[in-house]
Structure 1
Amino acid sequence: MIVSYTAIYNANGGIAGEVRYVIGHLFGTAECALCDITHSPIRRKPEWDRMLQRLGVPMAVLHRNQLDAALIAALGTTPLPAVFAHHPDGSITVALTAGQLRTLGGSVSEFEKALIGR
């Protein structure tokens, strides 16, 4: 059973982090498949918000510089971006890896299928 999810971007939050990512993305030096799934070039995708409503459990979406100690421990050497599942016993496991997120091609519907098809 999964009680919640945490999706972690391969980018830092805050104005400086966002600007660095946008510039890096434009020049091909920064990549985040999760960003491509959740956002269009201008804003968060409305279909992402609708998917979150259908999901049935909460999903936090964080930047890599916003993690608490439990998430840092669960992350270990897992490359970002990634999605983690939180279980009733307090354990945290990887739900979707960076490689899996890349194969989704920025599609919210493919993300939803990959996540709930586990």
Structure 2
Amino acid sequence: MENPARVTCLVGVYDADGGLRGELRYVVGHLLGRTECALCDVTHSPLRRKRAWDAMVVRLGIPVELVHRNEIPSDVAACVREAGLPCVVARRADGGVETLLDRAALEALDGSVEAFERGVGEVLAARPV
């Protein structure tokens, strides 16, 4: 029997809007020091998504969905409202959702993919299989 609390997917929600205008607004704001997104710092270099991120997702072994604040899936919206942006939400086998990493936890990673992998790995390892 499958464990209903098993994490089936991670949803990372950026503190930035998607689409061309949103992306440009974030890049300009980031360059001017007016806009920050700790999850963006983990997943992206100044020019593109980090190769280390892509490799980590493969090692993690569960799907990771990345969305912008204007693309939040309805099933994770309540977690996002509670945790704030950016955040990482876990979808469970029972259909429930829970916040794994909030803004403070993501900021503490200081843009490190390796620290993200360790942090998520520790949270997942502490859960029943």
Specify the TM-score bucket, using the shorter chain as the normaliser: over 0.9
Q: Equivalent residue of 2:45, what SS?
A: coil
Q: Secondary structure at the match of 1:117?
A: helix
Q: Which has the larger radius of gyration?
A: 2
Cα distance per residue 1:6-58 (max 9 Å; x no partner): 00100000000001101111111110011111011111100000000001110
**2:56 counterpart residue number:** 51
Per-residue CA deviations over 1:49-105 (Å, capped at 9, x if unaligned) read 000000111010000111122121332232111000111111100001110000111
Q: Which runs of 4+ in 1 moved over 4 A?
A: none
Which consecutive residues of structure 1, in runs of 5 or more, have no partner in the other structure?
none
Aligned-partner residue type, residue 97 of structure 1:
D
| Matching residue of 2:25 | 20
- Matched residue, 2:93: 88
SS of residue in 2 equivalent to 1:105? coil
Q: TM-score, normalised by structure 1?
A: 0.96
Aligned to 1:9: 14
The SS at the match of 1:3 is strand
Aligned-partner Cα distance in 1 for 2:101–2:47: 25
Aligned letter for 1:53? V
Structure 2 residue 72 is matched with structure 1 residue 70: no
Higher mean alpha-carbon deviation, 62-71 vs 89-98, is at: 62-71
Q: What residue in structure 2 maps to residue 115 of structure 1?
A: 120
Query: How many angstroms apart in 2 are the aligned matches of 1:13 and 1:108?
Result: 21
Q: Quote the Cα distance in structure 2 between the aligned partners of 1:81 and 1:9.
A: 5
Number of aligned positions between the proteins:
118
